[in-house]
């Protein structure tokens, strides 16, 4: 027996209605640890080169790690991994809540779904009982409606439920998966892949225990977190009344959040829509993830008065920044309504916001008109017209059919619009301003899955105004020196190379970025203790940092196989131009410096001149089997 894993992977073939179980030994788990690396293993091994993401042979993988669901904060996550319909490379969405731990309780380390059901279906899992059931009664329904039907069903009333909305059913390429109403697998179009399989929902219920080697140690760490986590300055603000949405105004005031499709990095209406404004009007109630105490999620009270379902909670910062602030909407209730639509129809709020700002620029510049939009005039700040266009995207009506493809494909359809399409590798860019945080900008460009705000801890946490606590936390990675955020010299490239695997190892371990270092409460030593207390192994920071590096290289190998290399590792042209307005007016990423930084990063990472992992790097990481 080994701890932290069941050693069993559930495989479901929807085409043939076939269920199988696959056993893996301890050596396999020690090498890949579950989570993102386990999923990447199967995608590299089993997906043919060039496969269409909407092919029935694409894999949709719900993957957990050894620490998923153990009795300790920050361990409630799972990964959803597939070939992305936006990037044609690996797409990953790391998700908190209860769904991942429930997979473990049911006795599985991962669920691998292949094929396409002949009719709308959902998967029912109760321990070792697995069924593929007809979902015609919930197909076409909103996520809230489908959830209520399933949760009131005798068989599924105790289940944790992951499901898609109409956006996923209609193959909007940036659709999400909504878990238990409140937790969203948002990025990379994972919901669209689920929809392409005629799969509406996965319902999981488990009665087993998640076995750990040293529960006393985990309990001690859990109590330590509960007693002290608010001593961390970011945790104190994160877990306050407004969660991460409460950062918006202060970040806008500092010029750190892009608006108006990256023309500016501030918006005067930010104070009207940030988390504190919303929670002041709609008194929140905290919701914790599995075995956590942070209360990151907030259920609002009274939103039914404006026709919004309160079950989806407070809008998260990424969606608030992209789909409200970015569009210059300063109406508080409009922000709540837009979030309601994002969750009930199953969309990625980040991609949606960038698509909408792209569409507004196209309309402003007469590249599309009312004949395309169904007589809707698109303009900044007009939430009513914007909501109408969102509905057209969901149901692929008029211009919505093109916009549902994402900005990359849309810009290939709409002539002369590419300069407005803010994406890297086909994935829309988050609104954290890369010209102000240039290490983050490099991360956006070279990330094998496209731009995530979690590709690396942000520059401003290690500049000259940052807390000394954060510098102390990253010193075990040999990061000792504060650096200017608006800089991309050789020292910053070194910092990026050392910090990038730190977030990557959290994705590989399904660890929460709001619980762990580089800057949060638990330090790297605590993470190692949690891994060892769970598994009984004698792991180390070196091993799990290398696990983070392994994930990056596995994803990079897949991307290279699909023809994605240095040509795609570039930011949109607009980001090499100065910020036009606000406190950071004139700040720019120098393209020549960026190219030098990218070249240096490749060398540090052990990649060739095209950004493809070299033989010796794959040998070092134990990945030669994939070539």
Read off the pLDDT band of 1 (50, 70, 90). low
| Cα gap 538→531, rounded to integer Å | 9
Cα 80 to its chain centre, rounded Å, is 9
Pick the closest to residue 428 from 254, 262, 314 (CA basis). 262
Do 451 and 412 lie in one domain? The reply is no
- pLDDT 10s digits, 584-620: 999 999 999 999 999 999 999 999 999 999 999 999 9
* Axis-axis angle for helices 383-394, 349-364 (nearest 10): 110
Do 199 and 263 lie in one domain? The reply is no
pLDDT value, residue 295? 82
pLDDT value, residue 12? 98
Q: Is 145 exposed, middle or buried (0-12, 13-18, 19+ CB in 10 A)?
A: middle
Pick the closest to residue 530 from 515, 519, 520 (CA basis). 515
| Residue 474 in tokens | 């990253």
pLDDT of 10 > 70? The answer is: yes
- pLDDT 10s digits, 567-582: 999 999 999 999 999 9
More confident residue, 529 or 229: 529
The answer to whether 121 and 19 have CB atoms below 8 angstroms apart is no
If you average pLDDT over residues 285-303, what whole number do you get?
A: 90
- Determine if residue 215 is left, alpha or beta; phi over 0 gives left, psi from -120 to 50 gives alpha, anything else beta: alpha
Do 369 and 448 lie in one domain? The reply is no
If you average pLDDT over residues 47-54, what whole number do you get?
A: 97
- Starting at the edge strand found earlier in the chain, the sheet holding 18-23 runs 18-23, 8-13, 110-114, 60-63, 78-83, 90-95
| Cα gap 321→61, rounded to integer Å | 29
Residue 226 lies in a domain: no
Do 22 and 70 lie in one domain? The reply is yes
Residue length of the chain:
627
Do 247 and 373 lie in one domain? The reply is yes
Residue 622 lies in a domain: yes
Do 191 and 246 lie in one domain? The reply is no
Q: Which of 390, 407, 428 is the last residue of a domain?
A: 428
- pLDDT 10s digits, 453-470: 999 999 999 999 999 999
Do 401 and 508 lie in one domain? The reply is no
The answer to whether 85 and 428 have CB atoms below 8 angstroms apart is no
pLDDT value, residue 237? 65
The answer to whether 308 and 250 have CB atoms below 8 angstroms apart is no
Do 476 and 613 lie in one domain? The reply is yes
Contacts of 398 (CB under 8 A, 6+ apart): 372, 373, 374, 392
Sheet strands (E) in 240-356: 285-287, 297-299
Do 400 and 536 lie in one domain? The reply is no
Q: Which of 428, 460, 494 is the last residue of a domain?
A: 428
- Determine if residue 467 is left, alpha or beta; phi over 0 gives left, psi from -120 to 50 gives alpha, anything else beta: beta
| Cα gap 286→515, rounded to integer Å | 16
pLDDT of 391 > 90? The answer is: yes
Q: Name beta bridge partners: 298.
A: 286
Residue 556 lies in a domain: yes
- pLDDT 10s digits, 78-108: 999 999 999 999 999 999 999 999 999 999 9
Pick the closest to residue 14 from 142, 265, 193, 149 (CA basis). 193
| Cα gap 318→323, rounded to integer Å | 8
Residue 497 lies in a domain: yes
The answer to whether 452 and 424 have CB atoms below 8 angstroms apart is no
Residue 387's alpha-carbon distances to 145, 340, 353, 383, 622, in angstroms, are 20, 11, 11, 6, 49
Question: 405: domain CATH number?
Answer: 1.10.569.10
pLDDT value, residue 229? 84
Residues 350, 354, 357, 363, CA torsion sign = negative
- Structurally, the chain folds into a number of domains equal to 3
Q: Over pLDDT 90: what percentage of the chain?
A: 94
Residue 216 lies in a domain: no
pLDDT value, residue 581? 92
- pLDDT 10s digits, 151-169: 999 999 999 999 999 999 9
pLDDT of 398 > 90? The answer is: yes
If you average pLDDT over residues 366-374, what whole number do you get?
A: 97
Question: Pairing between strand 121-126 and 129-134?
Answer: antiparallel
Q: Name beta bridge partners: 90.
A: 83
| Cα gap 201→179, rounded to integer Å | 9
pLDDT of 2 > 90? The answer is: no
Q: State the residue for tokens 């948002």.
A: 186
Read off the pLDDT band of 372 (50, 70, 90). very high
Do 416 and 487 lie in one domain? The reply is no
| Cα gap 38→41, rounded to integer Å | 5
Read off the pLDDT band of 362 (50, 70, 90). very high
- Determine if residue 564 is left, alpha or beta; phi over 0 gives left, psi from -120 to 50 gives alpha, anything else beta: beta
Q: Over pLDDT 70: what percentage of the chain?
A: 99
If you average pLDDT over residues 319-324, what whole number do you get?
A: 98
Q: Mark out the alpha helices in 111-265 (DSSP H runs).
A: 143-151, 166-169, 190-196, 215-228, 233-238, 248-253
pLDDT value, residue 293? 86
Do 386 and 529 lie in one domain? The reply is no
pLDDT value, residue 239? 59
The tally of CA atoms less than 13 A away on the side-chain side of residue 221 is 28
| Cα gap 534→528, rounded to integer Å | 10
Residue 483 lies in a domain: yes
Q: State the residue for tokens 């070249």.
A: 599
pLDDT of 418 > 80? The answer is: yes
Three-state secondary structure call for residue 204: strand
Three-state secondary structure call for residue 264: strand
Average pLDDT, the chain: 96
Question: What's the pTM?
Answer: 0.97
Question: 110: domain CATH number?
Answer: 3.60.9.10
pLDDT value, residue 238? 57
* Axis-axis angle for helices 215-228, 524-535 (nearest 10): 150
If you average pLDDT over residues 414-442, what whole number do you get?
A: 98
- pLDDT 10s digits, 492-538: 999 999 999 999 999 999 999 999 989 899 999 999 999 999 999 99
- pLDDT 10s digits, 184-196: 999 999 999 999 9
Sheet strands (E) in 396-462: 423-424, 427-428
pLDDT value, residue 308? 92
Residue 536 lies in a domain: yes
| Cα gap 116→627, rounded to integer Å | 29
Residue 526 lies in a domain: yes
pLDDT value, residue 331? 97
Question: Pairing between strand 121-126 and 199-205?
Answer: parallel
pLDDT of 408 > 70? The answer is: yes
The answer to whether 533 and 386 have CB atoms below 8 angstroms apart is no
Q: Which of 397, 428, 459 is the last residue of a domain?
A: 428
CA angle (38 as vertex; 36, 42 as ends), nearest 5: 115
In which domain, by residue range, is 450 found?
Answer: 438-570+590-626
Contacts of 52 (CB under 8 A, 6+ apart): 58
| Cα gap 76→512, rounded to integer Å | 8
Do 192 and 278 lie in one domain? The reply is no
């Amino acid at each position: 027996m080994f701890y932290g894993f069941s050693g069993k992977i559930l495989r479901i073939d929807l085409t043939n209605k076939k269920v199988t179980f696959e056993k893996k030994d301890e050596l396999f788990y020690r090498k890949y640890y579950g989570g993102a690396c386990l999923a990447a293993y199967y995608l590299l091994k089993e997906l043919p080169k060039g496969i269409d993401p909407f092919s029935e042979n694409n894999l949709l993988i719900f993957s957990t790690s050894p620490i998923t669901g153990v009795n300790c904060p920050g361990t409630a996550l799972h990964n959803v991994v597939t070939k992305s319909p936006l990037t044609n490379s690996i797409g990953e969405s790391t998700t908190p809540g209860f769904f991942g731990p429930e997979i473990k309780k049911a006795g599985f380390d991962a669920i691998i779904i292949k094929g396409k059901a002949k009719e709308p279906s959902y998967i029912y899992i109760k321990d070792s009982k697995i069924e593929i059931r007809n979902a015609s009664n919930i197909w076409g329904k909103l996520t809230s409606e489908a959830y209520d039907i399933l949760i009131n069903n005798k068989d599924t009333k105790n289940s944790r439920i992951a499901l898609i909305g109409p956006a996923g059913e209609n193959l909007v390429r940036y659709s999400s998966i909504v878990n238990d109403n409140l937790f969203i697998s948002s990025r990379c179009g994972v919901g669209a892949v689920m929809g392409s399989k005629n799969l509406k929902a996965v319902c999981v219920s488990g009665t087993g225990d998640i076995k750990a080697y040293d529960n006393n140690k985990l309990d001690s760490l859990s109590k330590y977190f509960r007693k002290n986590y608010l001593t961390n300055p970011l945790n104190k603000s994160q877990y306050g009344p407004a969660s991460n949405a409460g950062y918006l105004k202060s970040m806008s005031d500092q010029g750190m959040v892009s608006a108006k499709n990256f023309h500016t990095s501030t918006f005067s209406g930010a104070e009207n829509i940030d988390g504190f404004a919303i929670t002041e009007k709609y008194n929140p109630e905290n919701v914790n993830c599995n075995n956590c105490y942070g209360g990151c999620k907030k259920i609002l009270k009274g939103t039914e008065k404006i026709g919004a379902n309160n079950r989806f909670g407070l809008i998260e910062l990424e969606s608030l920044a992209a789909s409200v602030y970015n569009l210059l909407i300063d109406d508080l209730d409009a922000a709540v309504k837009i979030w309601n639509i994002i969750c009930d129809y199953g969309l990625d709020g980040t991609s949606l916001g960038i698509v909408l700002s792209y569409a507004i620029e196209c309309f402003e510049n007469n590249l599309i008109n009312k004949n395309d939009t169904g007589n809707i005039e698109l303009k900044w700040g007009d939430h009513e017209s914007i909501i109408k266009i969102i509905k057209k995207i969901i149901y692929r009506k008029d211009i919505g059919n093109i916009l549902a493809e994402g900005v990359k494909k849309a810009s290939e359809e709409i002539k002369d619009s590419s300069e407005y399409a803010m994406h890297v590798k086909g994935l829309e860019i988050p609104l954290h301003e890369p010209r102000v945080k240039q290490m983050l900008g490099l991360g956006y460009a070279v990330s094998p899955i496209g731009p995530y705000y979690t590709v690396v801890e942000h520059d401003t946490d290690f500049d000259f105004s940052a807390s000394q606590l954060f510098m102390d936390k990253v010193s075990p990675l040999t990061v000792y020196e504060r650096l200017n955020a608006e800089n991309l010299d050789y020292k910053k490239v070194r910092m990026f190379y050392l910090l990038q695997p730190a977030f990557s190892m959290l994705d590989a371990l399904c660890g929460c970025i709001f619980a762990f270092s580089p800057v949060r409460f638990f330090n790297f030593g605590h993470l190692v203790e949690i891994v060892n207390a769970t598994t009984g192994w004698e792991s180390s920071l070196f091993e799990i940092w290398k696990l983070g590096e392994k994930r990056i290289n596995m994803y990079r190998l897949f991307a290279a196989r699909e023809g994605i290399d240095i040509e795609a590792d570039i930011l949109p042209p607009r980001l090499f131009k100065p910020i036009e307005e606000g406190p950071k007016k004139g700040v720019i990423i120098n393209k020549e410096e960026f190219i030098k930084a990218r070249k240096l990063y490749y060398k540090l990472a052990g990649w060739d001149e095209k950004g493809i992992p070299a033989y010796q790097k794959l040998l070092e990481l134990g990945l030669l089997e994939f070539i």
